[in-house]
């Protein structure tokens, strides 16, 4: 199998991926979503104890805009919003699990 050198490729697939999942919280958000079919905003915020409401909202919106996360709003009082991975987001699962395993080996 022939591989392209990543130094001069345009567009670079690693840069493309990093633009989607990069940032302090996105990888952790995605990791928690692979372990839960659906998760509410407040549950996710508890798992990421030091993230602010504003930052979590922004990161989830960006992941949603990139087609990685799905947001479902239920017509209830009080409002209920749940997040899940799209098929595109689920395709990141092997990479996220490898990152987890690498961390377990090197902690």
Model pLDDT, residue 37: 86
Residues 45-103 pLDDT 10s: 999 989 999 999 999 999 999 999 999 999 988 889 999 999 999 999 999 999 999 99
Is residue 29 situated within a structural domain?
yes
What are the start-end ranges of the E strands in 1-107? 39-40, 69-74, 80-85
pTM for this model (two decimals): 0.85
Is residue 69 situated within a structural domain?
yes
Is residue 6 situated within a structural domain?
no
Domain hosting residue 25, numbered range: 13-106
Is residue 8 situated within a structural domain?
no
Strand 39-40's sheet: what is its strand order?
Answer: 39-40, 80-85, 69-74
Is residue 96 situated within a structural domain?
yes
Number of domains into which the chain is organized: 1
């Amino acid at each position: 199998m022939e591989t392209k050198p990543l130094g001069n490729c345009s567009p670079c697939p690693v840069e493309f991926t990093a633009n989607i999942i990069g940032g302090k919280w996105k990888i952790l958000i995605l990791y928690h979503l692979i372990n839960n079919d659906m998760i509410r905003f407040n549950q996710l915020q508890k798992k990421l104890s030091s993230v602010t409401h504003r930052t979590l909202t922004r990161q989830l919106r960006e992941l949603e805009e990139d087609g990685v996360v799905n947001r479902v709003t239920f017509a209830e009082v009080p409002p209920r919003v749940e997040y899940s991975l799209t098929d595109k987001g689920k395709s990141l699962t092997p990479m996220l699990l490898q990152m987890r395993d690498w961390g377990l080996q090197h902690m």
